[in-house]
Amino acid sequence: MAQAGRHFLQIPGPTNVPDRVLRAMDHPTMDHRGPRFAELGQRVLKGMAGIFKTSGRVVIFPSSGTGAWEAALVNTLSPGDRVLMAETGHFATLWRELAERLGYLPEFIPGDWRRGADPDAVEDRLRVDSAGAIKAVCVVHNETSTGSTSRIDEIRRALDAAGHPALLMVDTISSLGSIDYRHDDWGVDVTVAGSQKGLMLPPGLSFNAVSDKAMEASRSAQTARSYWDWQAMSGPNETGFFPYTPATNLLYGLAEAIDMLNEAGLENVFARHDRHGAATRAAVEAWGLEVLCQEPRHYSSVLTAVLMPQGHDADAFRRVVLER
Amino acid sequence: MAQAGRHFLQIPGPTNVPDRVLRAMDHPTMDHRGPRFAELGQRVLKGMAGIFKTSGRVVIFPSSGTGAWEAALVNTLSPGDRVLMAETGHFATLWRELAERLGYLPEFIPGDWRRGADPDAVEDRLRVDSAGAIKAVCVVHNETSTGSTSRIDEIRRALDAAGHPALLMVDTISSLGSIDYRHDDWGVDVTVAGSQKGLMLPPGLSFNAVSDKAMEASRSAQTARSYWDWQAMSGPNETGFFPYTPATNLLYGLAEAIDMLNEAGLENVFARHDRHGAATRAAVEAWGLEVLCQEPRHYSSVLTAVLMPQGHDADAFRRVVLER
Amino acid sequence: MAQAGRHFLQIPGPTNVPDRVLRAMDHPTMDHRGPRFAELGQRVLKGMAGIFKTSGRVVIFPSSGTGAWEAALVNTLSPGDRVLMAETGHFATLWRELAERLGYLPEFIPGDWRRGADPDAVEDRLRVDSAGAIKAVCVVHNETSTGSTSRIDEIRRALDAAGHPALLMVDTISSLGSIDYRHDDWGVDVTVAGSQKGLMLPPGLSFNAVSDKAMEASRSAQTARSYWDWQAMSGPNETGFFPYTPATNLLYGLAEAIDMLNEAGLENVFARHDRHGAATRAAVEAWGLEVLCQEPRHYSSVLTAVLMPQGHDADAFRRVVLER
Amino acid sequence: MAQAGRHFLQIPGPTNVPDRVLRAMDHPTMDHRGPRFAELGQRVLKGMAGIFKTSGRVVIFPSSGTGAWEAALVNTLSPGDRVLMAETGHFATLWRELAERLGYLPEFIPGDWRRGADPDAVEDRLRVDSAGAIKAVCVVHNETSTGSTSRIDEIRRALDAAGHPALLMVDTISSLGSIDYRHDDWGVDVTVAGSQKGLMLPPGLSFNAVSDKAMEASRSAQTARSYWDWQAMSGPNETGFFPYTPATNLLYGLAEAIDMLNEAGLENVFARHDRHGAATRAAVEAWGLEVLCQEPRHYSSVLTAVLMPQGHDADAFRRVVLER
């Protein structure tokens, strides 16, 4: 079937890229060792700190979000280290598999994929790890596969209550810039993010926000690393440069996207998503359908998963969406 | 000083990005799991095989060229493996440092940075490695820091003459699509490439072309890896997909750039660069200056380094270039 | 109120410009006296003949649609000439006022703005003009102000039945490329068109399709003219050029838009609009509202005007549309 | 011959359009009756007054520059009116032919195409017109065909010295925004301009700057007119609107181009062109060639015409330029 008009992505991400961002990206590539680049580099590093709500360090990689998952682990852990992860859905599972491939020992707190991470289960597990074998706790903030958003503030309190020294790592790939998130206030050690969702960019950039504690851990971590190495980034980043060629044109788009978020006001953007999420759930309820997420406190503002009713075929439904 | 008009990059790379490529890149991001993406993925994978002149496998990473250096090593080597590298200049040195950081044992064949890699020295070194401790020979095809192009066909013959089983790895980041290159004919096992030079794209994509022998090596290599893993790419790539989110908009640009190279004809593109290189060297000679590269058979067609005459200041010269 | 996302025009025109057309337009301006321009000029002139369904001449002006109204009259009429016009709505009224300002004597067949032009009234009026004082009959094909589409084939038959020699002029500014139209088959002498509706371009180009009879009339017409003169266009147009500087970048977009219409197939485009129009009227009926057009044979496929119910305020409604 | 790289216009105009302007133009077309358009309209009308250096009225037409020539005449003259024009070159000749076609009586002060207009000749001719039959004096500021720039301040003084009431009309199509020009200070009544040269836009917009005296003349001028009518523009322009559909996307580009000129500073832009013009003439002299313009006070800063030496073929030369 021939299709006329403008195509809109009907998927959880990559999201629609605003024209302002596309236009910003299609300028000629500049010298990444020259003075104009230094301004751009400082602008996006500082701007991203604002989005993460951190006064600490931000690292930007020319990679997809998966790379920032990997960077969080290889900079802070040594081969064989134990990692506690919360099974919130498909992306939590992918992160666990990645940890295994890299030689770590992930342990899953099982979940039913219908709610966010359980802070009590985290606390219970950490309390019995009196030897401190667990080096990191990893949680996906917003699970794209389920529409559940974990309460990171509560996970932080779970670590504190258990008095456990593990690093707290949070994947915000599908929440940063869309749902309230506070790297510093919530005591997160490594936040993982990507360009293609709330930041309104095409895929190709990923991010770590890094606490002093995590940076300290990276000094003794024994995993061999080069591309993802935070230390190598530190020096050049101070003046707005990068140790190897950055994805310059995506950084043009990033600068524009940060401006757009700040012009709108982050809190206003969050409120808009909250309103849209509530509207979507109201529609689902009115249609007599069931939202996948069963815990109202974990409803995602940016994504609502709906159960396909008995007797209907999800593949057939998706085919109609795609064709029409 | 206020500057009017269009800025042109005056550096060896990133190169000027044609408007056709910029326009191709600024289209809305599409679903990377949908049928239209499958067409795009197959088109760029097949197109890049043509540029590499290989009938084998091509791997595309959302990363800068440095990532493809790392991928070449981590897919084929085990911690502690010995690697023979030719010191042709700054980039060969960076690749060596990267190998060290990743836990390998690089050994440098020393060079004076005024010519390409020496096949005789490679052959001599390999002949004395009767135990086969050296697992890979790494050469930078075109050294951006010196303007010398190594003869990869001669390096191949050196390995063959020595009867040595090491993998041959070649960095073509600043030559692919600009200088004659033949992955299959020259028996290269892993070719490393990036988007921002002969491929006329912004930085953000990197490539490996992989021989069957290298693919076989990757099955037993013991380096832990995830983002760079070739095996994980294989299955999805068969139908044009990727195991994690690709840099979709850069792939739009890549498809356009491949079309442009094929429309012009790769051999015509090479001939144009050869002519421009010869013209540049003629000008340097007419000005009474000295070309850095001392071996005419290694003159680079894409880059001519010129010695700053005694009594002149390179920094002052660059400042004038930048300002004017 | 801050607005996020992409703005969509919610007005009858200018219409949404496809990204393909915007991208085509933003290429560097070329020399309008060079050989590449000649190809472009011939391509758009020939392409527009296909859209008008004429084997005759097409004239392209760098102007808005109003200019093509003026061109139709000043090329064929002499000061004081009498013109018969059908009052179908606001745009027919504007065309009449324009004719008066230019020194002609327009005569209106009155209408109630709730249907298209009445062929019987045209025939009756022409029959009593045995002296042939009326030099042209002017009809707006699709009235943007009312959503009524006149039957041009029936108007043609009215002229034929009356045996009257007047030129038939038709304004297709809001119908060409969207609703079935046939310059040659329907014996139209001058068709008037603009770029910003069915041709999917920004405003800035206008068109005349001209019959041999109208071209002949232009040889003796006494209105002084220069910018709009068809004769001056004829020579340069033969080789794809224009007598004065054309709006080159809008012509880039026009070439692309013609390609898009032909790729989709004009008849498929018409069918799509017919379907959308029927869907819109079905919705209006379901809401218990009244379509302005009272004659089903004159329903417009591209525009449906709806009566504001008693007790409601159109300005208040429009304000909501604009803000939300 | 296949050509690689970016094409640069090598002609006097249309000039190269900056990327900023192309990007500004390729945004979605907006409603030209809505509040955002009103802001744009007021911005460009006010901005153009600054470029013309007038506190009076500016009129913007969706047309090429030829239209603004026509508008200057039809708004102020009546059929049969006498116009004094200075023969400075090809474009002065075209303007004269246009005046004839529109029914006026142009009289040429002959010139040799190697200098600007002669103020003494203008004064002499006006002195003998004691009856005031001459209604307008028309001068091309910068003659694109010869590279001579007339001194408009001296022409103004010639009218004043003769005590003649004729309107002074000046064509600045190839000078506005590039060479010093002062509508008010120099007592010009109608300035004619186009978008595709100093304003750095594609062709498709034209301009009149209009003195109170010219506006007064338009109230009694008897030429029938509609598209070009200043009076119809006045009302809507006050709030930023236009009486008929404007060329919206070109106006986006105009707003950007005005910003660019103001950011650089008009006087700095003029100085840059002066410097480039002097450099070009120095090169011509060094090559032993002859500049067409023989009067140094009339040298054009934006365009240098060079005589083809005996025994050489201009067409052959242009062919080489085009191909290489």
Higher pLDDT, B103 or B31: B103
Name the residue in chain D with its Cα closest to that of A27: D19
Determine whether the interchain pair B23/C26 forms a contact, defined as Cβ–Cβ distance below 8 Å: yes
Name the least confident of A46-50, B263-267, C22-26, C35-39.
Answer: C22-26
Determine whether the interchain pair A67/B63 forms a contact, defined as Cβ–Cβ distance below 8 Å: yes
Cβ-contact C72, C190 below 8 angstroms: yes
C-alpha C204/C-alpha A115 separation (Å) is 55
Of D4, D6, D265, the CB nearest to B19: D6
What's the distance, Cα to Cα, between the start and end of chain A in Å?
A: 9
C-alpha D213/C-alpha C66 separation (Å) is 28
Q: Residue D131's CB: how many other CB atoms inside 10 A? A: 6
Q: With an 8 Å Cβ cutoff, is A222 touching chain B?
A: no
Mean pLDDT of D1-30: 78
Q: 3-state class of C114 per DSSP?
A: coil
Residues of C in contact with D35 (CB under 8 A): 322
Q: What is the ipTM of this complex?
A: 0.95
Query: In which band, very low, low, confident or very high, does the pLDDT at D16 lie, cut at 50, 70 and 90?
Result: confident
Taking Cα atoms as reference points, which of A235, A222, A226, A24 lies closest to residue B64?
A226
Mean pLDDT of B137-164: 98
What distance in Å separates residue B158's CA from the closest CA in chain D?
37
D226-270 tens-digit pLDDT: 999 999 999 999 999 999 999 999 999 999 999 999 999 999 999
Query: In which band, very low, low, confident or very high, does the pLDDT at D77 lie, cut at 50, 70 and 90?
Result: very high
Q: Residue D276's CB: how many other CB atoms inside 10 A? A: 13
What's the distance, Cα to Cα, between the start and end of chain D in Å?
A: 9
Number of A:D CB contacts under 8 A? Answer: 9
Q: With an 8 Å Cβ cutoff, is C231 touching chain A?
A: no
Mean pLDDT of A28-50: 95
What's the distance, Cα to Cα, between the start and end of chain C in Å?
A: 9
Instruction: Please name the helix (run of DSSP H) or strand (run of DSSP E) that holds residue B71, with its range, or none.
Output: helix B65-76
What pLDDT sits at residue A2? 47
Name the residue in chain A with its Cα closest to that of D20: A27
Residues of C in contact with B28 (CB under 8 A): 19
Query: What six digits make up the tokens of A144?
Result: 């794209």
Query: In which band, very low, low, confident or very high, does the pLDDT at A1 lie, cut at 50, 70 and 90?
Result: very low
Mean pLDDT of B44-53: 98
What distance in Å separates residue A105's CA from the closest CA in chain B?
13
For chain C, which residues score pLDDT lower than 70? Answer: 1-10
Taking Cα atoms as reference points, which of B178, B136, B130 lies closest to residue B155?
B136
Query: What six digits make up the tokens of A21?
Result: 């961002």
Q: Which amino acid is at D233?
A: M
C-alpha A207/C-alpha A212 separation (Å) is 16
What pLDDT sits at residue A4? 61
Query: In which band, very low, low, confident or very high, does the pLDDT at B267 lie, cut at 50, 70 and 90?
Result: very high
Q: Which amino acid is at D116?
A: G
What distance in Å separates residue A22's CA from the closest CA in chain D?
10
What distance in Å separates residue A19's CA from the closest CA in chain C?
8
**What residues contact residue A215 under an 8 Å CB cut-off, 6+ apart?**
A56, A57, A230
Q: Give the torsion sign (CA, C8, C14, C15, C16).
A: negative
Q: Give the torsion sign (CA, C232, C237, C243, C244).
A: positive
What distance in Å separates residue A229's CA from the closest CA in chain B?
10
Residues of B in contact with A40 (CB under 8 A): none
Name the residue in chain D with its Cα closest to that of B16: D5
Query: What six digits make up the tokens of A59?
Result: 């690292």
Determine whether the interchain pair D23/A19 forms a contact, defined as Cβ–Cβ distance below 8 Å: no
Q: Residue C5's CB: how many other CB atoms inside 10 A? A: 8
Give the CA distances from residue A179 to residues A172, A269, C136, in Å, rounded to whole numbers and listed in that order: 9, 8, 65
Strands (E), chain C: 57-61, 82-86, 105-109, 134-140, 142-143, 148-149, 167-171, 190-194, 206-210
Mean pLDDT of D197-224: 98
Higher pLDDT, C27 or B57: B57
Q: Which chains touch A (3 or more CB pairs under 8 A)?
A: B, C, D
pLDDT at B9 over 80: no
What distance in Å separates residue D27's CA from the closest CA in chain A?
8
Query: What six digits make up the tokens of C153?
Result: 């084939």
Q: With an 8 Å Cβ cutoff, is C31 touching chain B?
A: no
Instruction: Give which of D19, D252, D256 to mutate to test A binding, by max A Cβ within 10 Å.
Output: D19
Number of A:C CB contacts under 8 A? Answer: 22
CA C161 to chain centre: 25
Query: In which band, very low, low, confident or very high, does the pLDDT at A5 lie, cut at 50, 70 and 90?
Result: low
pLDDT at A268 over 90: yes
C-alpha C201/C-alpha C64 separation (Å) is 11
Taking Cα atoms as reference points, which of D94, D69, D96, D77 lies closest to residue D85?
D96
Query: In which band, very low, low, confident or very high, does the pLDDT at D23 lie, cut at 50, 70 and 90?
Result: confident
What distance in Å separates residue B235's CA from the closest CA in chain A?
17
Taking Cα atoms as reference points, which of C293, C320, C321 lies closest to residue C149?
C293
List the Cα angle A136/A142/A143 in 5-degree steps: 90
Q: Which chains touch D (3 or more CB pairs under 8 A)?
A: A, B, C
Query: What percentage of chain D reaches a pLDDT higher than 90?
Result: 89
List the Cα angle A307/B245/B25 in 5-degree steps: 120
What distance in Å separates residue A290's CA from the closest CA in chain B?
25
Determine whether the interchain pair C264/A2 forms a contact, defined as Cβ–Cβ distance below 8 Å: yes
- Torsion of the alpha carbons at A80, A86, A89 and A95, rounded to the nearest 10: -30
DSSP state for residue B175 in the 8-state scheme:
T
Give the CA distances from residue D188 to residues A72, A232, D54, D208, in Å, rounded to whole numbers and listed in that order: 69, 65, 10, 11
Q: With an 8 Å Cβ cutoff, is D264 touching chain B?
A: yes
What pLDDT sits at residue B321? 83
What pLDDT sits at residue D4? 60
B221-230 tens-digit pLDDT: 999 999 999 9
Of A4, A19, A264, the CB nearest to C2: A264
Cβ-contact C291, C306 below 8 angstroms: yes
What pLDDT sits at residue A223? 98
Determine whether the interchain pair A30/B9 forms a contact, defined as Cβ–Cβ distance below 8 Å: yes
Q: 3-state class of B176 per DSSP?
A: coil
Determine whether the interchain pair B203/A229 forms a contact, defined as Cβ–Cβ distance below 8 Å: no
Name the residue in chain B with its Cα closest to that of D3: B264
What pLDDT sits at residue C1? 39
B residues 292-321 lying closer than 8 A (beta carbon) to C: none
What pLDDT sits at residue B242? 97
Determine whether the interchain pair D272/B4 forms a contact, defined as Cβ–Cβ distance below 8 Å: yes
Instruction: Give which of B16, B26, B252 to mutate to test C binding, by max C Cβ within 10 Å.
Output: B26
Q: With an 8 Å Cβ cutoff, is A33 touching chain D?
A: no
A141-199 tens-digit pLDDT: 999 999 999 999 999 999 999 999 999 999 999 999 999 999 999 999 999 999 999 99
Mean pLDDT of A7-28: 83
Q: Give DSSP secondary structure letters for C130-196.
A: TT--EEEEEEESEETTTTEE--HHHHHHHHHHHT--PEEEEE-TTTTTTS---TTTTT-SEEEEESS
What pLDDT sits at residue A19? 85
Number of B:C CB contacts under 8 A? Answer: 9
Provide the pairing of β-strand A142-143 with A148-149.
antiparallel
Cβ-contact C62, C69 below 8 angstroms: no
What's the alpha-carbon Rg for chain B, to the nearest Å?
20
Q: With an 8 Å Cβ cutoff, is A267 touching chain D?
A: no
Average pLDDT, chain B: 95
Mean pLDDT of B12-22: 87
Q: Give the torsion sign (CA, A234, A236, A240, A243).
A: negative
Residues of C in contact with A19 (CB under 8 A): 6
What pLDDT sits at residue C11? 78
Q: Which amino acid is at B52?
A: F
C residues 278-297 lying closer than 8 A (beta carbon) to D: none
Mean pLDDT of D25-33: 90
Instruction: Please name the helix (run of DSSP H) or strand (run of DSSP E) that holds residue A44, with its range, or none.
Output: helix A35-52
Cβ-contact C71, C218 below 8 angstroms: no
